[in-house]
Structure 1
């Protein structure tokens, strides 16, 4: 039965990938159509720039659009088309563009480690020493560098992993303090449920949301201490059984809180889950700080806050996992790499840092831009970032680069949740069996999912 479930999940994910690739090809054709292009200067052939990203939230797109409009004020003959892709299949689709020689002029890269093959294949411009990097807070460049110190991406914001919660929902349930231990977190869930409030909104219809739900626990509690674990599993240097101490706790806690999510979570979209939190039907959503933008896009005046997901019963041990990894990449093989670099440089300006904080609801990495942070992020900054109650995961590879291994992992976690027994040992055995069947030799990995 478990094998059958895994095959079904894998087939669905493959169909989604193929459909996404066909959609992407159509979008590229549309971007190349004359009706999509600027008029050009002096009657010359119109110039277009294509930018691939994975942002689904309205605020993120408003931030990108604000930069594009500013760029086109000084480049009226250039049309910039920003194409959003599904976060779960983003890297796989990006690598499909490599295979078909259709790489965009600019693209997002969430993780330097996960995109190393693109860098080594010449699809990333070396940004080391560029003057505009001096406008950024230096600590946020760490996740944009390879081991040799070279910078390959323009980081855009500092984001983290934890719980976004509706303060009004907590108040209705009589909850005054945020949970600081795992036992307190489960007690909060019970109290919310007793008041007819859905404790946790889960939109697992998009596979990446389940990954980051688990990641809010797994990354700070296990992966930060063992940053090479994902690479070792990919290469067959270790197994899930041998790494059980890293996986068992996070997987078990995921199962414990699964009973408090909405009905039919695998049929619920991320968009629907955000709406539940925005209007107070649900109290919490677990994942990244990008949820703030998502909730605000549903209800701008929602009273929301953030706290780290507690993973132990040691009071005060919970820390917010923060990072600024990856960012915007310029493809040096683009016919218009010089214009793409000008667009990238624009996004390092203070004006665009303020736009990011206003629209994307993120914490900009640009220096000295003022305090227009969203109230939820300002609270995060004052309560966790400023006093140092954070853990840095900038140097961590969070997901499997190989698309086959990534899908097998996601499907295995979904299968565990669908198992009414929530048998952690069986889940770990199943993951090893799946990986043994598809694992490739080290160095042959060519895909993976990102947020």
Structure 2
């Protein structure tokens, strides 16, 4: 599963949606990676401690890059620097970091997300929380779209981990047990396969909806096929007041997602199942599919109670006879606190980390689940090979929440949870609540 991909590298994979991940007109005067720093070296400086907070959970097995590898390799390179790292669940992370930043007590290094969504790089820059990173030395090796999605007024404020694709991890053995011999190519075929699995006594899909952000993982894939194919500028129009989240296109997407729950294709009591438990159920062979992103590769390829062969495909939410679209976007990235007392040291770490050759860079690439946007780094997850090939067709759109102000995605999750929980909430009511939240937050 981890064989090198012979004909597809990240630089070629990103040429369609992200307009190329090769050399860009970065701020560095040299295209050669360097571990030099824009400030004086900290090698002979006094001992300092830097803090770092990101969202996520510790690796189920083996060494965790952020919690274990990163602090160790930073200290090896810079003996005077101690890096203290912490991972928090998404909702807790967003609340905690924003509160700390507003109080002037934020971590030195933190995770930002693309564009304007929750903890989005643009909002972090506007608020003065994120430092301008344009003086770092490696930008010529970062893909243009990956850099642009983390930029405000032409200046980058975070280093993206790469590109992520939302899709469906599936158990090939359970598909075979249910008599499914080929992957579904449209929504009707997908529903039919879910029914085959259910008839064979197999839970078709497991979702960890107790961690409410999981609710987005299926819906954005459906929206990619209902909202955007005929109008890629939908969100730009939404921001201008020319479109609404109450659009029939969004109501259709929500209705389609609701159908999976109504027909029992998603595990019962998903609101009582967290992300870690959902991953374990999939790895133990207790469900045939899970809707998730490439960032959870490690968690969903961990050995479970049974051995089975895994696959991955974008959710085919397209109508029969119409092209399939997928949700793919710049991944989250690392930023530096603009008010850090150790800003120069943090930038020095970044220059070493992303220099394209250091031990830390190599460890980061090896640990990464996202599809790298760093020039020359090949795709090393065989599981995603077909999805990347499909991505190259051009029928791809970013995750919807990347163009929404903070609060809209959370409103979607809260309101759709009512549907999952059995309340009589309608798709129209979900869409209406999203639009009301959008108007409120966009105005502010």
- TM-score, length of structure 2 as denominator length: 0.78
Gaps of at least 5 residues in structure 1 are 1-39, 445-451
User: Would you say 1:143 and 2:149 are equivalent positions?
Assistant: yes
Q: How many residues align?
A: 392
User: Would you say 1:199 and 2:204 are equivalent positions?
Assistant: yes
| Deviation larger for 343-352 or 254-263 | 343-352
Q: Say if 2:142 and 2:374, in contact at 8 Å, map to a contact too.
A: yes
Distance 2:248 2:370 in 1: 33
The match for 1:398 among 394, 397, 402 is 402
Residue 176 to residue 323, structure 1, CA distance change in 2 (3 Å): same
Distance 1:239 1:369 in 2: 40
- Residue 118 of structure 1: CA displacement? 2.1
- Residue 336 of structure 1: CA displacement? 0.8
Name the SS for the 1:130 alignment partner.
Answer: coil
| Deviation larger for 314-323 or 47-56 | 314-323
- Residue 71 of structure 1: CA displacement? 1.4
Distance 2:287 2:173 in 1: 10
- Residue 356 of structure 1: CA displacement? 4.1
User: Would you say 1:417 and 2:420 are equivalent positions?
Assistant: yes
In structure 2, what is the equivalent of residue 177 of structure 1?
A: 182
> Deviation per CA, 1:248-305, whole angstroms, max 9, x where unpaired?
1111111111121112100011111111211221111113222322212454975222
User: Would you say 1:56 and 2:57 are equivalent positions?
Assistant: yes
Residue 77 to residue 128, structure 1, CA distance change in 2 (3 Å): closer
In structure 1, what is the equivalent of residue 159 of structure 2?
A: 154
- Residue 229 of structure 1: CA displacement? 3.8
The match for 2:124 among 118, 125, 137 is 118
- Residue 130 of structure 1: CA displacement? 3.1
> Deviation per CA, 1:375-434, whole angstroms, max 9, x where unpaired?
2123433x324x43541427x54375344x5443322111123346673334445656xx
In structure 2, what is the equivalent of residue 245 of structure 1?
A: 248
Distance 2:275 2:332 in 1: 23
The match for 2:134 among 128, 131, 138 is 128
Q: Say if 1:248 and 1:424, in contact at 8 Å, map to a contact too.
A: yes
Residue 90 to residue 229, structure 1, CA distance change in 2 (3 Å): farther
Residue 408 to residue 378, structure 1, CA distance change in 2 (3 Å): closer
User: Would you say 1:345 and 2:351 are equivalent positions?
Assistant: yes
Residue 140 to residue 425, structure 1, CA distance change in 2 (3 Å): closer
| Deviation larger for 153-162 or 124-133 | 124-133
Correspondence 1:36-47 to 2 at 5 A: 46-47=47-48
The match for 2:367 among 337, 359, 368 is 359
User: Would you say 1:318 and 2:320 are equivalent positions?
Assistant: no
Q: Say if 1:416 and 1:427, in contact at 8 Å, map to a contact too.
A: no
In structure 2, what is the equivalent of residue 15 of structure 1?
A: none
Name the SS for the 2:123 alignment partner.
Answer: helix
The match for 1:279 among 277, 284, 293 is 284
The match for 2:195 among 190, 195, 210 is 190
Q: Which has a greater percent of helix?
A: 1
Q: Say if 2:209 and 2:272, in contact at 8 Å, map to a contact too.
A: yes
- Residue 349 of structure 1: CA displacement? 3.5
Q: Say if 1:358 and 1:374, in contact at 8 Å, map to a contact too.
A: no
Name the SS for the 1:198 alignment partner.
Answer: coil
Residue 129 to residue 102, structure 1, CA distance change in 2 (3 Å): closer
Residue 55 to residue 231, structure 1, CA distance change in 2 (3 Å): farther
Distance 1:390 1:69 in 2: 41
- Residue 181 of structure 1: CA displacement? 0.3
Name the SS for the 2:180 alignment partner.
Answer: coil
Distance 1:429 1:367 in 2: 42
Residue 442 to residue 140, structure 1, CA distance change in 2 (3 Å): closer
Distance 1:360 1:349 in 2: 16
In structure 2, what is the equivalent of residue 91 of structure 1?
A: 94
Distance 1:227 1:355 in 2: 38
- Residue 170 of structure 1: CA displacement? 1.4
Residue 344 to residue 206, structure 1, CA distance change in 2 (3 Å): same
Name the SS for the 1:200 alignment partner.
Answer: coil
Q: Say if 1:307 and 1:320, in contact at 8 Å, map to a contact too.
A: no
Name the SS for the 1:363 alignment partner.
Answer: coil
| Deviation larger for 361-370 or 221-230 | 221-230
| Deviation larger for 346-355 or 205-214 | 346-355
Distance 1:230 1:413 in 2: 24
- TM-score, length of structure 1 as denominator length: 0.77
In structure 2, what is the equivalent of residue 20 of structure 1?
A: none
